[in-house]
A and B are shown apart, each in its own frame.
Chain A
Amino acid sequence: MSYQEKRTVVSVVTGVLILISYFIYTNSKYQSGIVPEGDLKFWAGSMLLFIAIGIAVTIVIQILFHILLSVTIAAKAKIADAVCDDKEIERSIKIEMTTDEMDKLIELKSNMVGFGFAGAGFVLALILLVLDYSHVIMLNVMFVSFSIGSILEGVVQIYFYRRGITNG
């Protein structure tokens, strides 16, 4: 599995865990009766909180992942050739982490799928509002569709890395 694939798997897992945490957090608050019916402030606050957590966790995990991978590559290089110098190791790390034309094409196609899903969720949220569903449901549909869109983007990326990709 390449660096890009591993990084995508980590992002997908992080996204899923954050979404599950959001459901557990909001559900426990809602069940406890602290949240008044239709309190948009609570839902908006929770979503903002989890967006912030998501960004922070993603940055931390990506940094840790980068460090771990660099250490692994360096260790492998040292085992294979005990006299290899630091420049050689740095070069190996750089090559492993290269983002090339295939990565960009995969990113482009998976972005389309992710944005498509998020867009469909946004339209669904508007339809629900027109059909007199509560604002809370509309807000949650939007949040969940954007979150799943982002997760789906990662899943599609993994799929293309495995199956291959063609231009056009």
Chain B
Amino acid sequence: MVKKIAITNEIRKLRFFANEMTQQQLAESVGVSRQTIMAIEAGKYSPSLELAFRIAEVFNVKINEVFDYEGKGDR
């Protein structure tokens, strides 16, 4: 069985460095609710690839600078 991996993210940090962007502002930019941004930040929801790219685009960084996963090289 394939081991489940935990997705981590740097959204909180990136928001802080983007003029202290609020969760609401980020949610508006990517077209989701604030609840979803909160869930992603807390690691309670892994976004779709499309949403992940949109989030990265808002911060003008590559996707792997926003999202990462724990347990690299385990398999």
A102, B34: Cβ atoms under 8 Å?
Answer: no
- Nearest CB of A to B37, in Å: 10
Residues of B in contact with A (beta carbons under 8 Å apart): 24, 27-28, 31-36, 39, 42-48, 51
Q: Is A27 an interface residue (CB 8 A)?
A: no
User: Which 9 pairs show the lowest CB-CB distances between chains A and B?
Assistant: A164-B44, A2-B35, A100-B32, A102-B36, A98-B33, A102-B45, A100-B36, A164-B45, A101-B48
A161 within 8 A of B: yes
Query: CB < 8 Å: which of B28, B33, B39 contacts A164?
Result: B39
A-chain residues with CB within 8 Å of residue B51 when the two chains form the complex:
101
Q: How far is the CA of A4 from the CA of B39 in the complex (A)?
A: 14
Provide the bound-state CA to CA distance between A164 and B45, in Å. 6
- Determine whether the beta carbon of A95 is less than 8 Å from that of B36: no
Task: Give the chain B neighbours of A102 by CB distance below 8 A.
Answer: 32-33, 35-36, 39, 45, 47
State which of A95, A100, A103, A163 has its C-beta within 8 Å of the C-beta of B44.
A163
Cβ B47 vs Cβ A95 within 8 A: no
